[in-house]
Amino acid sequence: MYIKLDENYIIKSDENNYILCELRVASDSAKNAGETIEKTVDYYGTLQAALKGYAKISTRQPNQDGYKELLQKLDAIEQAILKVKIPSK
């Protein structure tokens, strides 16, 4: 499974976990300079927990300039979560 939440975060899965990853551009000193890489943020046992982790991280970004911007970010997170199709068991 691979779910793109926004331009900076994805959730992917393996047989045991849901993995929240941040999308970054590799630095100039890396062998794959300029390429987009997936940096693991954390591992979660459920998709719901991974989505909560995403919401927590997204609202703690240092570029939140105030209450209005935080509410807009929360609305964007809610919309991203609503777009996620949870696989049926």
> Quick one: pLDDT at residue 81?
77
Sort 57 into a burial class: Cβ within 10 Å, 0-12 / 13-18 / 19+. Answer: middle
Whether 13 is in a domain gets the answer: yes
Whether 88 is in a domain gets the answer: no
**Percent of the chain predicted with pLDDT > 70:** 87
Query: pLDDT by residue (tens digit) across 26-49?
Result: 887 778 788 888 999 999 999 989
Whether 77 is in a domain gets the answer: yes
Q: How many separate domains does the chain show?
A: 1
Residue-number span of the structural domain to which 17 is assigned: 2-83
Whether 16 is in a domain gets the answer: yes
Q: Which of 13, 3, 22 is nearest to 81 (CA)?
A: 3
Whether 6 is in a domain gets the answer: yes
Whether 89 is in a domain gets the answer: no
